[in-house]
Structure 1
Amino acid sequence: MILDSAAFDSKNPKLPDNLKTIMRLRQAAPVLHQARRRISALYVTGDKAKENYAVLTPYMEFSKTLIDEQDALRDNIAKRRLNLNPDEVLKKYEVYRSKETLKADLELRRDQIAKEIKELQKTKQDESILQAKKHEGVELRNSLKSLKEELYPIEDDFVHNFLKLPNGLCQKTPVDESRIIYRQGLPKSIQEPHSHLDRKDLIDYRDPTCYYLKKEAAHFDYYTPFNCVQRFLDSGYVQFVNPDFARTLLLEAASIDLNQIEIVDEEDIKESKVNLLHLTGGGSVASFLGFITKLSIFPTFLPLRFVASGREYIMQDEKPHRGLFTATQSNCIQTFIAARDEDELDKEVETALGLAIDLFRELDTHFRIVYLPAHQLTGAESLRASIQMYSPIYNEYIEVGHLSNYSNYVSKRLLFNFKDGKSHKFPYIAAGSIMNVTRIIACLLENGRALTVPRSSSEKDVDAIKDFKNLFA
């Protein structure tokens, strides 16, 4: 049976509990999206700490970013074509810094007065001097309290604007147009291209949130992740089974657009709560970030290589909808790499892209890998290698996989670190959905290719099922 969301009401007592949960999530999300995001979950100021637990305080280098590297920041923002004014952020920083300096002076003077009062009480000198010092101490306490209250909105405004500043760009990132780094074959000319949605025998599509794959499409969707994950495991990766949910803090750390991620309607949620629960899917980069948050490791454990398969949920704003290309749910294989430095990460990324090339070659169709220009990157990305296949019906390339270089931008925000002598450093990270199986199916069908399941994957899976059944024989 096909489930059409428009026909359901989450309050309907006849609906199963799991469907009620899904519908409540979808119906509540727009309201929650409108009411939220006045403040950040990544940095919670002291006045909001009573209502919102501060999970961490990101590592932020204000002076280095805004003053020492000011020219590089301007160039970065210009290349990304962002509507950000670094001068405004710098002005906010100067006001914030002046208030912080004043607060530090008051705290220092208060400590000095406290010591002087203790000395006067010991020596039992003139009572009038002691009372004057106590009065000054009270005045300092009240001034400090007032200054803190005054500082909270200034701090909140500045830090949250600072957190919007993008990651530095990799030297490999092109400025205006994509740069091809690998290509297999060329797009084939098709006289009368047909949409993948025309294959009613393989795809039952109702809307971006409701579709079913059938026959060969379902087999391909099921077995391809097994094959992909196994290739990465053979190359030294560790398999993860990630959660389908992530908190707002993790999404903000990776500069993920919150408007594209569903909010889960928690029953005990409060209007003031900022660290909300989101449906991201176990095949998303956010699903890995909870594992590394505040994680401290020894450098001998690096590089880390993880792989996971699962769903990825992204709400697409694009209209009209384009079938499986804009489906809310996709079947993805996510990779995650952490390295000591930029050079080590570059080598790991090159190896991972090599594995991806081998996997896509088996599809026996045209594809390419390009570096996307700066203005197409998210704020956290330093470089993005986009794996693309051609869609004849739309006459354009569709991203069917990617691997992004985040440098140490996300690590600093989530305090993911490793020990280097007596100090701590932040690992360089690369991650991405190396294969979006749902979009690959659509591209293969539009190019008239067969959805061939790798024999090795299907045979291994069948053998595993037989072995499991034999346990109960």
Structure 2
Amino acid sequence: MAFRTLHCPLINFCYGHPLLNAFHVGKAVTRKHCIHLVVLPQCATHLTTHEVGAIQIPYKTRCKSQQQCHRKLCSQTQSNEASTSSWVYDVNFTPELDLQGFEDNFSEIANNVNHRKGDADVHYILQLWKTVQKLKNEYWEKINDVAQLKAHAHSSSTSNSNLKELEKSNEVLQRLGAEIGGKQHELYQCAAMLPNRTHPQVPLDEDAEPTLIELVGTKPNFDFPIKNHIDLGEDLDILRIKHLGHITGHRSYYLKGAGAQLEEALVQYTLDRLLAKGFKMISVPDIVKPVPFEGCGMRTKGLHTQVYKIDADRHPGGYCLSGTAEVGIAGYFMDRTFELGELPQKVAAVSRCFRAETSGLSEARGLYRVHQFTKVEMFAVVADEHGDESETIFQEFHQIQRDLFTELGLHFQILDMPAHDLGAPAYRKFDMEAWMPARKAYGEISSTSNCTDYQSRRLKIKYKTSSGDTRFVHTLNGTACAVPRMIIAILESFQQPNRTIVIPKALQPYMYGESLITKPKRKALIHTRL
């Protein structure tokens, strides 16, 4: 019986049978044969059983099922490890990190990790990288040795000693392949924790404060005692935060009447202006698998994660609730290659965001830090032909945010965040903080981040360059409107002595022409208190 030849560069060296010639006679095995399933043209077209160690997988059909079996064989070793680790990738979808660049620029990257307070072990990553390279070199040398043994065995009388030597060599290949798979799995798991590079203008000092870029507008002055947004909302019967323990627990809320209308008004006001700027709308799923989260730089496991996870016992797959539309949008573009003429792509999404916030600070009361809220997100995918495309879009996002909040009459500051506040994915990040009078402090209402190729390498988002090569895109994201915090700023900034709220003129067309939020004349909406 004739056998197909399968070569797997990561896990197992696959062969038809240890005692039979599975290689095509005289054909050396090279790397190009090991990208996918390889079927040499001189081999037979059917195979009943394919042996890889103790694993036996029957072939029933041709190319499609063969590739599926190949992927199953390749992932066998890694899947056992992945089931007990925090790693969400598998052999079918691993990040394409520049590990050679990591080795070549080790000192610079190590300093960057230190400045950004990253937890990646750069020395161990380098050790793993060198180990994998060494094992791969041994693997390819052994493959060529086996190919020569096969050719020699076919051209001469095959003795028992030759067959034993061939079988022994195949066992060595299996061992090397499995070792490569395990080390490479660990390498990617560790290397994916490396943060992005840092923009040269970003402050690097450990105790560096955000750099003030601009103060926009003026603080509102009051000649009467002011109230916070919680008291204002309850007095006007537009907000319910108290007595929710039996319904949702803490950090939740109801918006009612004009409060709910204000939420919709803010969303529509924002979308109208984004669409006028050339954005396309997209509606994203709220339930997403872990890979897009991790690819965006958001960890789905660990003590400090803010990601809600769906019960895996009842719903296998590791599904999570999205904390931002950025995750769903990035997932939409995942594993895609654009033509240069298709870029840039600018999209906007409205979504419910779910976050397992844990802060116990008094400043987080009310709407400031909640488990679920509505947000309008901007996202862009841009080329990297000249090195400045993503910086141009970054400044565009920043200007859009500035215009949105200025038109609403808010007083806010724009900050260039230091390295230790960038998180893992951002190359540079601007935060916008609105003045919240009752808190007597600024509170973040928006941010915009240039992630360069951090996310695209982890999610395999690429484009074809003008020269025909393939390159990773740059991605950017920015908050156009985080509804709860916008409501805080509006209620507290535009409150009047009679406890009404002046609606910003830009929002009045979306509030059915009303200019004030007043206490409803009808009876308040009844709710149950326990």
Q: TM-score range by the shorter chain?
A: 0.7 to 0.9
Pairing 1:343–2:388 present: yes
Query: Structure 1 pair 392/458, CA: closer, same or farther in 2 (3 Å)?
Result: closer
CA separation of 1:330 and 1:300: change in aligned 2, threshold 3 A: same
Structure number with higher helix proportion: 1
Shift of 1:265: 2.7
Residue 228 of structure 2 is matched in structure 1 by: 195
Which is higher, the Rg of structure 1 or of structure 2? 2
Unpaired segments of 5 or more residues in structure 1? Answer: 1-34, 46-53, 461-473
Match 2:450 to one of 405, 410, 414: 405
For residues 38-437 of structure 1, the aligned pairs below 5 Å read 38-42=85-89, 44-45=90-91, 54=92, 56-65=93-102, 67-120=103-156, 125=157, 127-128=158-159, 131-175=160-204, 176-188=208-220, 194-199=227-232, 200=234, 201-205=237-241, 206=244, 207-258=249-300, 259-265=305-311, 269-270=315-316, 276-280=318-322, 283-320=324-361, 321-341=364-384, 342-420=387-465, 421-437=467-483
Q: Is the 8 A contact 2:97 2:457 kept in 1?
A: yes
8 Å CA contact 1:385, 1:403 repeated in 2: yes
CA distance in 2, matches of 1:416, 1:87: 28
What is the TM-score with the length of structure 1 in the denominator?
0.79
Structure 1 equivalent of residue 45 of structure 2: none
TM-score where L is the length of structure 2: 0.71
Task: Say if 1:168 and 1:382, in contact at 8 Å, map to a contact too.
Answer: yes
Counterpart of 2:73 in structure 1 is none
1:394 and 1:278 map into 2 onto residues whose CA distance is 33
Shift of 1:334: 0.4
Contact 2:261–2:511 (CA under 8 A) maintained in structure 1: no
Q: Is the 8 A contact 1:246 1:278 kept in 2?
A: yes
Equivalent position of 2:486 in the other structure: 440
Shift of 1:193: 5.4
Query: Aligned partners of 2:226 and 2:164: how far apart in 1?
Result: 85
Tell me, in whole angstroms, the C-alpha distance in 1 between the residues paired with 2:119 and 2:428: 20
Contact 1:256 1:378 in 2 (8 A): no
Whichever residue aligns with residue 204 of structure 1, its letter is: R
SS at match of 1:378: coil
Q: Following the alignment from structure 2 to structure 1, what is the Cα–Cα distance between the partners of residues 268 and 198?
A: 34
Aligned partner of 1:454 in structure 2 is 507
**Cα distance in 1, alignment partners of residues 425 and 354 from structure 2:** 19
Per-residue CA deviation, residues 358-402 of structure 1 (Å, 9 max, x unaligned), is 211122121122111111112111111111112344443221111
Residue 451 of structure 2: SS of its match in structure 1?
Answer: strand
Counterpart contact for 1:284–1:433, Cα < 8 Å = no
| 1:422 positional shift | 3.4
Q: State the percentage of identical aligned residues.
A: 20
Aligned-residue RMSD, C-alpha: 2.4
What CA distance in whole angstroms lies between the structure 2 residues aligned with 1:422 and 1:136?
46
Cα separation, partners in 2 of 1:135 and 1:198, compared to 1, 3 Å: same
Amino acid at match of 2:229: H
Question: In the alignment, is the contact (CA less than 8 A) between 1:216 and 1:451 conserved in 2?
Answer: no
Q: 1:339 to 1:97 in 2, by over 3 A?
A: same
One-letter amino acid of the structure 2 residue matched with residue 119 of structure 1: S
How far apart, in 2, do the equivalents of 1:112 and 1:208 lie? Answer: 70
Q: Distance in 2 between matches of 1:180 and 1:222?
A: 31
Residue 345 of structure 1 and its aligned partner are, at CA, apart by 1.7
Per-residue displacement from partner, 1:272-315 (whole Å, max 9, x unpaired)? xxx5111116x521010121111111100111111111211111
User: Shift of residue 165 of structure 1?
Assistant: 0.6
- The answer (yes or no) to whether the contact 1:380–1:409 under 8 Å persists in 2 is yes
Per-residue deviation, residues 302-342 of structure 1 (Å, max 9, x unmatched): 11111111211111121145221111112111001111124
